[in-house]
A and B are shown apart, each in its own frame.
Chain A
């Protein structure tokens, strides 16, 4: 077999049993790898109705056929589980050497179930699996955990770990690898913590051969050249931080917990200002020629903090919580990384709490004396620490905005900014109507990455302030495109370097695996993957009313900037949702007809579970 090992490693942490199971060729061909293969494994491995923190909930790490080929941006892996935030399928991506090393151990996917009877460091060295005592690492930050494990096992060892937040089951805890790369959205780190698993350390010696190395080298060299051209300019220069000032000007920068879409103090925390005043260096994932990561450092007299910074962290820990001090934003982002927290969910949940405090629904007694107002730098940092340790108010906020608002009640659900329990990313849906639809229908909850629907809004193709039924087709196409990217797995920042993603990727897939693949088959694989994700959610209790947006979005208009007066009515959202269901060939209730399941060749999977 080329490109794949053709097997998964299944480990029960409760019993320490490990089984190497074969993967059928037709499964690999239909679901590719990454998110696609992971979705298939989740559907077939996760007991229906299981609670996310139940030991039976699988935590799955999945590589892809491209991992190990040295194609640019291909060193990526997916992490899937039933999300403790959403109760839906939870899928995240991470990158770098962990991906290549995990694949070299001899498996295409690692499926973890059970719960270790002691704090566990799982070590996989080719065929050898060990369960070491992780007690010495408990309480350590993500950076310290990785450092200590490497010091113990050798510096070629690759480590994926959780921080204090994952140990304490903060529902939006991340899994961190390779010095700060993270699978964070939907909270896989909390599930890892629930399994009493502090870290996974891997070393391998079994690379997978490719079918036609010469052809792959030629196409890979060309792709690398394109990855250094205009298609990736933004990512190579300011990185995604370039979004901050532009989004503000376009009235799409969530501010003060989505009460506004512009931030008066934007010039202090813009990507341009951060670059000029705080930039240290660029960083790359393994086998990446783009180098989007911007390492920033604080410059004030406070404790030094240095780490990666990207747009989503800058918005969630900046304008959304009203913080205009760049040093605080950097410090907060770095703190999240060290605690092992998803910066988006952390920032959005704190923004909810700040609004509660300003409206008198949380008091100083509730916050332990923190004046949790928008723009209070010290309160933001203190709150993050409390969340990571689940102390005081942090114990409530560790539950995420949906559960916290349900627990507090008194109408605070109205400004808990989440979809299906996953906190909103930095794209204001009222002034980005295609994105609004993408957020509402995503199987992952409020996710910008699984549809990239904003692409249409930031173009001349649509009027981003107006809703129309055609957004359904655009969102569907974006989702299927993203599913292919996330399954092969390519970095999304490479997407514009392709002249035709499907045709070029199909050719590359053939060179890697030796198996026939057409552009049309690859496109259909994207549809199949999204369909199976939806089927998973339906099985776990999805209802039509779950495809929606927070009440604030549907009842308040934007008060400032170029989008002043712009809103989104429920009728307009429902119209777009119907357009989406129709484009997908689903029923008006969002269910999937048997004919569609047969057409996509997933009927057999549904019938067996």
Chain B
């Protein structure tokens, strides 16, 4: 996902779909976040904790700058987000779920 951001404000509104315990502790399935187009993983983590403080220590590191290894972020159901940047577009959806895949 390397398309340039086309929003004049330089920010985009994205939806975050919550799964697993993240959904249960936040009490809802979706969060709406305003993020820079070139948001880093730290930007996303900060915004998630602001929107749902209960995510700190569950999915987000206690310093609020990254994901715990037990959680993964996926962009639009296609790309797993790494710490090299997210490259968001208006209307994107981020999925937050447990990273352990098996079962």
Contact = CB atoms under 8 A, between A and B. Distances in A.
A459 interface: yes
B70 interface: yes
A272 B17 CA distance: 13
Interface stretch (B7-15, B44-52, B71-79): B71-79
B101 A454 contact: yes
Residue among B21, B72, B76 having the largest count of chain A Cβ atoms under 10 Å? B21
A271 B97 CA distance: 12
B103 A243 contact: yes
Interface residues of B, number: 27
A127 interface: no
B77 A240 contact: no
Interface in A257-315: 271-272, 275-276, 310-312
Given A249-B95, A275-B24, A458-B101, A230 B70 contact: yes
Contacts of A561: 77
Given A230-B68, A460-B79, A460-B80, A272 B103 contact: no
B58 to A, nearest CB: 8
A249 B93 CA distance: 11
B102 A240 contact: yes
Contacts of B100: 231-235, 493, 496
Contact of B70 (A231, A239, A251, A458): A231
Nearest to B19: A246
Contacts of B74: 250
Interface string A225-238: 00000111111011
A454 B101 CA distance: 7
A332 B76 CA distance: 34
A307 B79 CA distance: 36
B83 to A, nearest CB: 10
B20 A234 contact: yes
A235 B21 CA distance: 11
A493 B77 contact: no
Interface string B74-92: 1011111110000000000
A391 interface: no
B97 A242 contact: yes
A492 B102 contact: yes
A388 to B, nearest CB: 25
A122 interface: no
Nearest to B61: A230
B98 interface: yes
B70 A234 contact: yes
A173 to B, nearest CB: 22
Interface string A450-466: 00101101111000010
B95 A246 contact: yes
A240 B76 contact: no
Contact of B21 (A238, A240, A311, A449): A238
B20 A238 contact: yes
B69 interface: yes
A452 B100 CA distance: 11
Interface string B18-32: 011101100000000
Given A237-B21, A271-B20, A249 B101 contact: no
A245 interface: yes
A414 interface: no
Contacts of B58: 233
Nearest to A292: B103
Pick the most buried of B17, B19, B79, B82: most chain A CB atoms within 10 A of its CB: B19
A589 B53 CA distance: 56
Contact of B101 (A271, A276, A455, A465): A455
B19 A249 contact: yes
B20 A459 contact: no
B97 A276 contact: no
Contacts of B82: 460
B19 A242 contact: yes
A39 to B, nearest CB: 22
Contact of A242 (B76, B81, B98): B98
A562 interface: yes
A239 to B, nearest CB: 8
Interface string A560-573: 01100000000000
B12 to A, nearest CB: 19
A235 B20 CA distance: 11
Nearest to B57: A230
A276 B24 contact: yes
Contact of B20 (A246, A250, A452): A246
Contacts of B81: 460
A261 to B, nearest CB: 11
A272 B80 CA distance: 22
Contact of A233 (B17, B24, B77, B98): B98
19 contacts: A230-B70, A231-B100, A233-B98, A237-B20, A238-B20, A239-B103, A240-B102, A241-B103, A249-B17, A249-B95, A250-B95, A276-B24, A310-B103, A449-B102, A454-B101, A455-B101, A458-B99, A460-B81, A496-B100
Given A251-B77, A272-B24, 17 more contacts: A230-B68, A230-B69, A231-B69, A235-B100, A241-B103, A242-B21, A242-B103, A243-B103, A272-B20, A272-B23, A449-B102, A457-B101, A458-B72, A458-B99, A465-B78, A496-B100, A562-B76
